[in-house]
Amino acid sequence: MGLAKRDQARHTYAEYCGWPDDGRWELIDGVAYAMAPAPARRHQEVLGELFRQVANALAGHPSRAFIAPFDVRLPRAGEADDAVDTVVQPDLSVVCDPRKLDERGCRGAPDWVVEVLSPATAGHDHILKRALYERAEVREYWLVHPVDRIVTVYRLHDGHFGVPEVREFMGRQAIDALAQVEIDWESIAALTAD
């Protein structure tokens, strides 16, 4: 089962900015998808620990880490913001080029994106968002499975995600897109033990 669509119309960022704040949406190729309800505690604990590790490792570096809700606008070529038809809110994203950041969020592909999977979003994140992040040329895309305690890592090579690396929450893992950052999976595994 996929995420609910707002309607059958195609939308732009200009419309998106005018929608009421009582619901969160993502636009993918103009289609508005409802964001899942508040995630489970385990999802938030895993996301919080990932963010803490990454933000601490990036202290003093120009790269910046952000957690949802944080709008990432993915324009095609040079289209104006109002015409952008793809706006997503990754669970965690890191932007290394400060010129992509503005008061609205990020315009252009982050260098690293993480989606922490939940039953309501797993298919959406695995299929639709993986293809979107590949098209946008996100350098590295991680799908973190808190229940299964594994991470699936896609790395961009020659404009395409290759065969993913799948590993358990064990040891430490470098982020290729962020040379100065390693994830300590042992501390995250401890959060998912109960």
Q: Does the residue 124 lie in any domain?
A: yes
Q: Does the residue 70 lie in any domain?
A: yes
| Residue ranges making up the domain that contains 61 | 39-191
Give 66's strand partners.
93
What pLDDT is recorded for position 1?
46
pLDDT tens track for 94-117? 999 999 999 999 999 999 999 999
Rg (CA), the chain: 16
The identity of residue 79, as a single letter, is E
C-alpha–C-alpha distance, residues 137 and 128, integer Å? 14
Residue 30 structure tokens? 């103009």
Which own/partner pairs from 150-155 qualify as long-range (CB within 8 Å, at least 24 positions apart)? Answer: 151/185, 154/130
Residues 6+ apart with CB under 8 A from 84: 12, 13, 27, 73, 74, 75
pLDDT tens track for 149-159? 999 999 999 99
Q: Does the residue 77 lie in any domain?
A: yes
Q: Does the residue 76 lie in any domain?
A: yes
Q: Does the residue 122 lie in any domain?
A: yes
Handedness of CA 35, 120, 39, 135 (dihedral sign): negative
Q: Does the residue 19 lie in any domain?
A: no
Q: Identify the DSSP state of 69.
A: S
- Report the number of distinct structural domains present in the chain: 1
Averaged over 51-78, what is the pLDDT? 94
